[in-house]
Amino acid sequence: MAVEQSPESYLAAYPAIASALPGADLPWLQQLRQDGLKTFEAHGFPNLRDEEWRYTNLAVLNKTQFTPTDNQEIDTDWLDAYRLENAWSVVLVNGRFSSTLSRLTGLPGEVSVQSMRAALDGNSTDLQARLGHAVTNDEHSLVAFNSAWFADGVVIEVAANYRMAKPLQILHVVTYANALAATRNVVVINESAEAEIIENYIGSAASYFSAAVNECFLEANAGLTLYKAQIEADKACHFGGTYVKQARDSRLMHHNFAFGAILARTDIRSDLHVASECSVNGLYLGANRQHIDNHTRINHLMPRGISREFYKGVLDNRARGVFQGRVIVAEDAQQTDSEMSNRNLLLSADAEVDTKPQLEIYADDVKCSHGVTVGQLEEKSVFYLQSRGVDEASARNILTFAFANEMVDKVENAELKALLFKQLLARFPAISL
Amino acid sequence: MLSIKNLHVSINDKPILKGLTLDINPGEVHAIMGPNGAGKSTLSHVLSGKAGYTVTEGSVTYQGKDLLELAPEIRAREGVFLAFQYPVEIPGVSNIYLLKAALNAMRKHHGLPEVDAMDFLTIVKSKVKLLQMDEKFLYRAVNEGFSGGEKKRNEILQAAVLEPKLCILDETDSGLDIDALRIVAEGVNSLRAAERSFLMITHYQRLLDYVIPDVVHVLAEGRIVKSGGPELALELEEKGYSWLEGQAA
């Protein structure tokens, strides 16, 4: 089925919004935006002919004209249900930084958190060296689209040797119907510094498009734990790309929870320098007609890197999950140690998962493994629970819950863990604990 | 308590049980012994409601009800407990969760409120002590990474918490060393009660030194070919099963 990918409506609307975008007076940013616009003009949204997108049809983005908005209306009680108490927080409403909702009081001087707009309005020399450097517009046309359209975002920098006492939560919230929330976020963790950042994607509008690009820089020996909890509204479209540059001895721990949206795509890419470590975990839950795509790419560029990847998926009804995990071990990346695993549980005959682990190894002294499973619940386990008095439907829920909860269990932040746990229980209601 | 009459069971059209008849009264302990392939495990599976077995003839009455008509979970809630020969590992589900879910399912079935959290812990911990288990077992995933002996003890722990009326032990003694066997047997003996019956399926006479049965049956070629007192087990130990084959009960 050929679907016309016509970006015309977005391109036609662009001139009207361009002048209001931040950084209009910065030639280097204008170049990045123009370049992004050109790429998007040439390719439209990625389509099925693109190998990296062969399982994910973005035609829906052309069917609805998603539009940027300044609207900041929000139900704060609803928002607060997702807010972590023991964290600093940044709130982006419809893709725009909200200083009234963000809670940054008492942030130590070693940690700088500002809106992308403010960062671009100030002395942006440092930002120029970062923005567009962890990922370029060539990555794919959604990144290019983001470069042209992003209206705000957050810029975070942690000073060398500083360890953040509390995590920073970034709440990406969409409240306005058919809004386009395009943000670009830059995170810099300086040498030997450590930080924990939690991204939540939520929405109260019925339909919208949330498109966020994160560029993360881990300097030598830095550590970043990054959680992503995508719990978008049922009919939302979501794109979130996180692109990481890991300097030597740095450590990235990423957890990706993809629960919401009708169409969701997450990209995680990390480039590993000497002896750096990267661990990426993921859990995608799809039901009804959800389509959830997860794309990871780990580039071992230099020797002695370690990567661990563990993704699980649970697909019910007519949902479709995609896992494409690429590990590339460059010629110089000797003694790389890499493991990748993707396990899927299909709960219905109509559910589908496309899983594609890819190992590309150009070095000769490496230890790499990958494994994939797609299966159903084990009947002997269902019977075991039944034989203990649990009815069949609850038995299936308990087992599914247990399968998924293994990933939630890996979350070290207790507040976030509780929030995710609640989400899981709502999906697989079993007898309460 | 349990009355099995002329039970015929097939798996994929292959007859396994061929006219098994057995009556167990409240409080009695019956042992079923027999050679491999006699149909011992089939009997335990059919009684607990496992799928894949076709009853072609006969009946099973449990406390006046047609047991074969009941879903596996209803049988469990009505007091039928199967200690599995090969207990299933359930990653991600803790022992304590399963025990509580099982106990509450049973209580709900009998119109009782959910068990109080503190009372529950007290009950469970006393049973854990009885089976000489570490309390840490409660918080580990069901049977995951347990040794053979730990798995079997865990089955008896579940029985101790759920307090069934009919307890079917499917080769609970197989694969246990003498120390583990003693602990499991002590657990079983502690569960013996006037209103609780046991059906112990075993391949080895040794178990019956520790749990003294009221009746011993020999199951061969899908039928009970001989029944007697505990002394029958000793006779079997001495002579093997071959002298009984071809005999009818």
Q: What is the pLDDT of residues A103-145, one digit of tens each?
A: 999 999 999 999 999 999 998 899 999 999 999 999 999 999 9
Cα separation of A68 and B77, whole Å? 58
* Per-residue confidence band for A188, with pLDDT thresholds at 50, 70 and 90: very high
State residue A29 phi and psi, 5-degree precision. Answer: -75, -35
- pLDDT value for B240: 79
Q: Does A397 touch chain B (CB under 8 A)?
A: no
H helix intervals, A50-189: 59-63, 76-80, 116-121, 125-128, 141-149
Flag the least confident range among A165-174, A364-373, A417-426, B235-244: B235-244
Are A215 and A136 in contact by the 8 Å Cβ rule? The answer is no
Are A127 and A120 in contact by the 8 Å Cβ rule? The answer is yes
Q: Count the helices and strands in chain B (H runs, E runs).
A: 8, 12
Min Cα–Cα distance to chain A from B144, Å: 12
- pLDDT value for A63: 85
- Among the partner-chain residues A383, A388, A405, the one whose CB lies closest to the CB of B98 is A388
Task: Determine, for residues B51 and A383 on separate chains, whether the beta-carbon distance falls below 8 Å.
Answer: yes
Are A313 and A55 in contact by the 8 Å Cβ rule? The answer is no
Are B46 and B249 in contact by the 8 Å Cβ rule? The answer is no
- pLDDT value for A176: 97
Neighbour tally for A179: CB within 10 Å? 23
Task: Determine, for residues B90 and A381 on separate chains, whether the beta-carbon distance falls below 8 Å.
Answer: yes
Task: Determine, for residues B48 and A380 on separate chains, whether the beta-carbon distance falls below 8 Å.
Answer: no
Task: Determine, for residues B162 and A389 on separate chains, whether the beta-carbon distance falls below 8 Å.
Answer: yes
b/e sequence A54-78, b meaning 16+ C-beta within 10 Å: ebbbbebbbeeebbbbeeeebeeee
* Per-residue confidence band for B244, with pLDDT thresholds at 50, 70 and 90: confident
> Taking the C-alpha atoms of B47, B50, B51 and B57 in order, what is their torsion angle to the nearest 10 degrees?
-10
Min Cα–Cα distance to chain B from A384, Å: 7
Flag the least confident range among A103-117, B73-87, B232-246: B232-246
- Among the partner-chain residues B82, B93, B162, the one whose CB lies closest to the CB of A398 is B93
% chain A with pLDDT above 70: 98
Min Cα–Cα distance to chain B from A382, Å: 10
Q: What is the mean pLDDT of chain A?
A: 95
Of A3, A72, A87, A80, give the one whose Cα is nearest residue A44. A3
Q: Does A379 touch chain B (CB under 8 A)?
A: yes
Cα separation of B64 and A117, whole Å? 77
Are A251 and A225 in contact by the 8 Å Cβ rule? The answer is no
DSSP E strands in chain B: the ranges are 2-11, 14-24, 29-33, 54-62, 65-66, 80-83, 90-94, 141-142, 166-170, 197-202, 215-220, 223-228
- Among the partner-chain residues A388, A402, A430, the one whose CB lies closest to the CB of B102 is A388
Q: What is the pLDDT of residues A245-257, one digit of tens each?
A: 999 999 999 999 9
- pLDDT value for B92: 86
- pLDDT value for A169: 98
Contacts with B97 from chain A: Cβ below 8 Å = 398, 433
Q: Does A375 touch chain B (CB under 8 A)?
A: no
* Per-residue confidence band for B245, with pLDDT thresholds at 50, 70 and 90: low
- pLDDT value for A5: 45
Q: What single DSSP character describes residue B112?
A: P
Q: What is the pLDDT of residues B160-215, one digit of tens each?
A: 999 999 999 999 988 889 998 999 999 999 999 999 999 999 988 889 999 999 99
**Would you say residue B246 has pLDDT above 70?**
no
Of A59, A390, A189, give the one whose Cα is nearest residue B108. A390
- pLDDT value for A6: 64
Are A278 and A246 in contact by the 8 Å Cβ rule? The answer is yes
Contacts with A405 from chain B: Cβ below 8 Å = 92
State residue A87 phi and psi, 5-degree precision. Answer: -160, 150
Q: What single DSSP character describes residue A127?
A: H
Q: Does A105 touch chain B (CB under 8 A)?
A: no
- Angle at the Cα of A359 (from A354 to A364), degrees rounded to 5? 170
pLDDT, mean of residues A218-235: 98
* Per-residue confidence band for B248, with pLDDT thresholds at 50, 70 and 90: very low
Contacts with A430 from chain B: Cβ below 8 Å = 101
State residue B112 phi and psi, 5-degree precision. Answer: -100, 150
Distances (CA, A) of A263 to A9, A40, A55, A152: 20, 20, 12, 23
The three-state secondary structure class of B182 is helix
Q: What is the mean pLDDT of chain B?
A: 92
DSSP A173-209: EE-STTEEEEEEEEEEE-TT-EEEEEEEEEE-SSSEE
pLDDT, mean of residues B61-80: 96
% chain A with pLDDT above 90: 90
- pLDDT value for A431: 57
**Would you say residue A187 has pLDDT above 70?**
yes
- Which residues from B are below 8 Å from A when comparing CB atoms? 48-51, 71-73, 75-77, 81-82, 84, 87-88, 90-93, 97-98, 100-102, 104-106, 109, 141, 158, 162
Domain map (residue ranges) of chain B: 2-244
Min Cα–Cα distance to chain B from A148, Å: 45
Contacts with A399 from chain B: Cβ below 8 Å = 90, 92-93
**Would you say residue A433 has pLDDT above 70?**
no
Contacts with A432 from chain B: Cβ below 8 Å = none
* Per-residue confidence band for B228, with pLDDT thresholds at 50, 70 and 90: very high
Q: What single DSSP character describes residue B136?
A: G
Task: Determine, for residues A390 and B92 on separate chains, whether the beta-carbon distance falls below 8 Å.
Answer: no
Residue of A nearest to B44 (CA): A387
Q: What is the pLDDT of residues A68-104, one digit of tens each?
A: 999 999 999 999 999 999 999 999 999 999 999 999 9
**Would you say residue A432 has pLDDT above 70?**
no
Q: Does A90 touch chain B (CB under 8 A)?
A: no
- The two most distant CA atoms of chain B are separated, in Å, by 56
- pLDDT value for B247: 59
Assign domain B2-244 to its CATH architecture.
3-Layer(aba) Sandwich (3.40)
Contacts with B72 from chain A: Cβ below 8 Å = 383, 386-387
Domain map (residue ranges) of chain A: 8-273, 379-433
Q: What is the pLDDT of residues B107-148, one digit of tens each?
A: 999 999 999 989 999 999 999 998 888 999 999 999 999 988
State residue A375 phi and psi, 5-degree precision. Answer: -160, -175
- pLDDT value for A1: 37
Q: What is the pLDDT of residues B88-107, one digit of tens each?
A: 999 988 999 999 999 999 99
Residues whose CB is less than 8 angstroms from the CB of residue A233 and which lie 6 or more positions away in sequence, other chains included: A174, A202, A203, A204, A205, A206, A207, A208, A260, A261
Q: What is the pLDDT of residues A315-329, one digit of tens each?
A: 999 999 999 999 999
